Amino acid sequence: GARVIDSPLAESSIIGVGIGAALAGLLPICEIQFADFIYPAFNQIVNEAARMYYRSAGDWHVPLVIRVPYGGGVGGGLYHSQSVESLFAHQPGLKVVVPSTPADAKGLIKAALYDPNPVIIFEPKKGYRGIKGDVPEGEIITSIGAARIARSGGDVSVFAYGMMAHYAEQAAEIVAADGIDAEIIDLRTLAPVDRESILASVKKTGKALIVYEDNLTLGYGAEVAALIADDGFEYLDAPVRRLAAPDVPATPYSHPMQDFFMINPEKIAAAIRELAAY
C-alpha cells in the first residue's frame, strides 16, 4: 500500500529519505535488512538524525524509527550475523533498544514511534523463530530506559539483552539444579541504560556477569562493567565478569566454527557456576 515503500537497496538513501520524512512531519520506520549493511547509513544516522535536535537548539525533531535485525547463529556467515549495537549506543542523540520477548518487541516499537527523536531497534534475528511468547492485545508501551527483571535471584546477577537475555533465562534454569539462584536482568534499553536496576541487582547479589554476543573487546558489556566498577564497587564480592564472542571479525559460516563463536545457554551456565563459586 501507499504506507509501505519498497526502497532501493541503498542504506544511506533509506535513512536520508527517512530523516526528510520525519522533518516534514511524518513518522517513518526505516528497515535495514541486516545490521551488517548499516555502515553506508552511519553518516546519516550519526551526523544528521542523532544531532539534529541538539544542533537546532531544540527547534527540529527527527521522530525516526530504524529497525535492524542483528546477531548470529543462523548460518549467515560474515555479512548476515554481525552485532553492531555498541557503535550506536555510543552516540548521544540516539536511543537504542533491543527486545528479547514478543511483548517487548511490540511495546518497544510503540514507544519508539511516540518518541520525538531517533530510536534504533536492534532485533535478534535468531529470535524471530526461536523465541515464543504472548503478546497483549491493544495498546502496550514498554518504557524506553527501563530494564526488566526476567528472573529474580540472590546469588549472581546476569545482565543481557536480545537473544542473550533469552539464553540467560535458560541458563538460570540449568544452574538452579545445582542450587544456584541466578537473577536475570534483561536490559532492553542500551541507551539510555537503566543504571538504577543494574546497581540494585548487584547490591542484592554481590556478583555480576554480563553476556553479549558482540566481540568481547569494547563491546557494550564493557560499559556495563565500567558502570558497576564506578558506582557499585562496594557491593561486589567477586570481579565483574563478561561473556562474549571472541575477537574475530564476525561469525564464521562453518557450523562447528559458528558454534565455537556463539554464546549459548550452556556457556552461560558454566560462567554462572564459575562466578558463583568465587
The whole-angstrom separation of Cα 36 and Cα 74 is 14
265: preceding bond cis by omega (within 30 degrees): no
Q: Is 148 exposed, middle or buried (0-12, 13-18, 19+ CB in 10 A)?
A: buried
- Contact, 120 vs 97, CB < 8 A? yes
Helix (H) or strand (E) holding 123: strand 119-124
| Greatest pairwise CA separation for the chain in angstroms | 59
- Contact, 227 vs 198, CB < 8 A? yes
Cell of 95: 536511543
Helix residue ranges per DSSP H, the chain:
11-23, 42-43, 52-55, 85-89, 102-114, 127-130, 163-176, 195-205, 220-231, 255-261, 265-276
Rounded to 10 deg, the angle between the 195-205 and 220-231 helix axes is 60
| 255 in active site | no
| Catalytically annotated residue among 61, 80, 166, 255 | 80
Residue positions annotated with a catalytic role: 80
